[in-house]
Amino acid sequence: MVSRFYDRTFFRVISMTIALIVAFSASAARADEYTAQEIVDSGHKFFGATSGGLATVVEKIFATYGLPNGYLLGEEGSGALIGGLTYGEGTLYTKNAGDHKVFWQGPSLGWDFGGEGSRVMMLVY
């Protein structure tokens, strides 16, 4: 009888400990991710109030891929004459690693002529 009591008590203590560990690790992981509202607010500040469809797009992406670990806001320019190049720079925002300046570039091949400049927002998973 006493042995059963100790077994049940031990089982309950272990179960509660595991439940607490899982709960705290899940909340810690959430603290490193961005919510949809945080991304939408940041996008509206960056692109301006005219980006009305941003919230709809962000909600669809979050439903498909989940919460991102970070996001990148930047500007990109490209030019081409048969072959082309793209250059961009921006800031990578993360909750657990801080903000970082980033640069990217890439080639393009194929029949193309012209140039383009744009603002860019990328979610980082």
Using one digit for the tens of pLDDT, what is the confidence trace for 18-45? 655 655 554 444 577 888 888 888 887 8
Give the domain range for residue 90.
Answer: 34-124
- Which parts of the chain register pLDDT below 70? 1-30, 49-52
Specify whether the CB–CB gap between 109 and 122 falls below 8 A. no
The per-residue pLDDT for 102 is: 92
Domain count, the chain: 2
Q: Quick check: 118 and 76 in contact, CB under 8 A?
A: yes
Residues 50 and 7 occupy one common structural domain = no
Residue partners of 114: CB distance under 8 A and separation at least 6:
79, 80
Tell whether 49 and 20 lie within a shared domain. Answer: no
Query: pTM to 2 decimals?
Result: 0.64
Q: Is 65 exposed, middle or buried (0-12, 13-18, 19+ CB in 10 A)?
A: exposed
